Amino acid sequence: MEHTRHITVECSMDSIAQCDEVQRLKAIQEASRDGPI
């Protein structure tokens, strides 16, 4: 939960849409770390 909260704090500085994009990119990066998409 703390990880999500940290992202939310970063989002408050940017627009919700931009925050959504960053969150999705981070998720993709973590997924690609485990293996190819």
d(CA 14, CA 30): 22
Query: Rg (Cα) of the chain, in Å, rounded?
Result: 11
pLDDT at position 17: 75
pLDDT tens digits, 3-34: 555 555 555 656 777 778 888 888 888 888 77
pLDDT band at 36 (very low <50, low <70, confident <90, very high): low
pLDDT band at 1 (very low <50, low <70, confident <90, very high): very low
**What is the pTM assigned to this prediction?**
0.44
Domain segments of the chain: what residues? 2-30
What sign does the CA torsion over 29, 31, 33, 36 have? Answer: negative
d(CA 20, CA 4): 12
